[in-house]
Amino acid sequence: MSLVSRHRIWIFPLLVVLTFLLLVAADVNGSSVGALVSGPDSNLIAGTPQVVRADEYVNASPLAVNQVRLGFPGYTYIGLTNMDAALSANLPTSDLTAVFRPQIAGYHFLSPSRGLAWQWWFPLVAGLLGMYWLVYVLTRKLTFAVVLACVGVFSPYIAWWSMWPATALGFLSAAAAGLIVAVAADRTWVRYVLAVVAAYAGVVAVLTLYPPWVLSLSMVFGAVVVGVLVDQRVPWQRVAAVVGSSTAIFSFTLLAWQSAHSTAITAIRNTI
């Protein structure tokens, strides 16, 4: 690959990240929290707050901002219950869970309103970059990778869910791409760094805590990874080493998280 082609690969990711940073810096989000304002909303730039999205502007966004005001507690009262905040994918906390929730990381070092902007746009960044990486790894076609990433992320379904599914889409795409590239890498250290990246991406996706997204996407991307490895006839010893180490890190991390929050998880199970 020529130096020019190598540089072209980074144009789309850089544009996505730059746009994201500008939107956060400008304190712009797509929240419908303006629906709570009586009369004209002076902060409204364009569009109309969607009253139907009460799950966002009544629950998710105010609760996240409240976590910031309270100092990111591990437990917070919601309704009449003192709830384990780590069991909600949208509540920033100060425990280890925060490492695997980059979509809400902005609340930890930005103002609450810019933290909301970070949370609003980050799923699109994750989705675009994850899909772009995977499609490029599979096809080696830059334009096709950009187009397919945009088609996948800017879909009505993702928009309806306030962009939240894009986090699972992006990180599971990245996990699949990471494993494919890791197994093909010639250098041992590159293989295992990418195995760790894949494991981390998988944990982030799982901790969105929405099984319909995670399970369905995992089956699709899992099939893609298996198909590529079979097609490339990669030595099974290398596949076992890379996939095995990534799976071990992924499993250990999730088991540790489950153990730390077992009381709340058991309580949720007992309500079904």
- Tell me the pLDDT tens digit for each residue of 13-34: 999 999 999 999 999 887 777 6
Q: What are phi and psi of 207, to 5 degrees?
A: -80, 5
| pLDDT band at residue 272 under the 50/70/90 scheme | low
Q: What is the DSSP letter of 48?
A: -
Contact 135, 92 (CB under 8 A): no
Q: Give the pLDDT mean for 197-225.
A: 95
Q: Which helix (H) or strand (E) holds 143?
A: helix 142-153
Q: Give the pLDDT mean for 182-206.
A: 94
Coil vs helix vs strand at 92: coil
Is the pLDDT at 205 greater than 90? The verdict is yes
Q: At what angle do helices 236-260 and 188-206 cross, to 10 degrees?
A: 40
Give the residues across from 77 on adjacent strands: 82
Mean residue pLDDT of the chain comes to 88
Q: At what angle do helices 11-25 and 142-153 cross, to 10 degrees?
A: 40
Higher pLDDT, 272 or 229: 229
The alpha carbon of 230 is separated from its chain's Cα centroid by a whole number of angstroms, namely: 28
Q: Give the pLDDT mean for 170-196.
A: 95
What pLDDT does 253 receive?
95
What pLDDT does 180 receive?
96
Place of tokens 């730390």: 260
The alpha carbon of 163 is separated from its chain's Cα centroid by a whole number of angstroms, namely: 10
Q: Give the pLDDT mean for 235-245.
A: 91
Nearest to residue 106, comparing CAs of 34, 217, 20? 20
Contacts (Cβ under 8 Å, ≥6 apart) of 243: 179, 183, 195
What's the CA gap between 104 and 98, in Å, rounded? 8
Higher pLDDT, 175 or 42: 175
What's the CA gap between 156 and 160, in Å, rounded? 6
Is the pLDDT at 39 greater than 70? The verdict is no
Place of tokens 């780590």: 86
Single pTM value for the model = 0.90
Higher pLDDT, 226 or 75: 226
- Measured CA distances, 259 to 77, 122, 132, 252 (Å): 22, 28, 35, 10
Residue 185 CB neighbour total at 10 angstroms: 17
Q: Tens of pLDDT along 91-121?
A: 899 888 889 999 999 999 999 999 999 999 9
Q: What are phi and psi of 72, to 5 degrees?
A: 60, 55
Contact 170, 128 (CB under 8 A): yes
Contacts (Cβ under 8 Å, ≥6 apart) of 242: 179, 182, 183, 191, 192, 194, 195
What's the CA gap between 67 and 171, in Å, rounded? 25
| pLDDT band at residue 75 under the 50/70/90 scheme | confident
| pLDDT band at residue 264 under the 50/70/90 scheme | confident
What's the CA gap between 157 and 249, in Å, rounded? 32
Contact 201, 174 (CB under 8 A): yes
